[in-house]
Chain A
Amino acid sequence: MELVERREGSVVVLAASGRIDHQTAEAFQKALEPHLAGCSEGGDSIVVELSGVNYVSSVGLRALRLASKKVKAQKGRIAVAAMQPTVAEVFRISRFDSILPAFETLDAAVGELQA
Chain B
Amino acid sequence: MEVTFWGTRGSLPTPMQSSHIRQKARALLRAASGKVFKDEAAIDAFLDAQPFWTANTYGGDSPCLQVGLASKEHLLCDFGSGARRLGGAMLGKFGPGAGQTYHVLMSHLHWDHLMGFPFFPPAFIPGNRIIIYGCHDDIEASFRRQNQAPNFPVDFSFLGAKIEFRKLTAGETVEIAGAAVTPKLQLHAGDSYGYRIQAEDAVFVYSSDSEHRIEDEAAGQGFVDFFDKADLVVFDAMYSLADAVSLKEDWGHSSNIVGVELCQRAGVKRLALFHHEPVYDDQRIDQILSDTRRYEEIRRDAYPGHPVLEVLAAYDGLTVAL
Q: Do A and B bind each other?
A: yes
Main secondary structure of the interface of B (DSSP, over half): helix
Q: Smallest CB–CB gap between A32 and chain B, Å?
A: 15
Main secondary structure of the interface of A (DSSP, over half): helix
Q: Mark B276-289, 1 if CB is under 8 A from A, else 0.
A: 00000000000000
Out of B217, B243, B261, which one reaches A58, CB within 8 Å? B261
Does B241 lie at the interface of the complex (its beta carbon under 8 Å from any beta carbon of A)? yes
Out of B214, B240, B292, B298, which one reaches A59, CB within 8 Å? B214
A21 to B222, CA, bound (A): 19
A62 to B213, CA, bound (A): 10
In the complex, identify which listed stretch (A3-11, A42-50, A74-82, A92-100) lies at the interface while the others stay far away. Answer: A92-100
With an 8 Å Cβ cutoff, the count of chain A residues facing the other chain is 20
Contact count band on B: 20 to 34
Once the chains bind, are A89 and B294 in contact (CB under 8 Å)? yes
> Chain B contacts of A94 at CB under 8 A?
240-242, 255, 257
Out of A22, A61, A86, which one reaches B298, CB within 8 Å? A86
In chain A between 40 and 90, which residues have their CB closer than 8 angstroms to a CB of chain B? 55, 57-59, 61-62, 65, 69, 86, 89-90
Once the chains bind, are B298 and A89 in contact (CB under 8 Å)? yes
A97 nearest CB neighbor, chain B only? B242
> Chain B contacts of A22 at CB under 8 A?
217
**Which residues of B approach A to under 8 Å, CB–CB?**
214-215, 217, 240-243, 245-246, 255-258, 261, 291-292, 294-295, 298-299
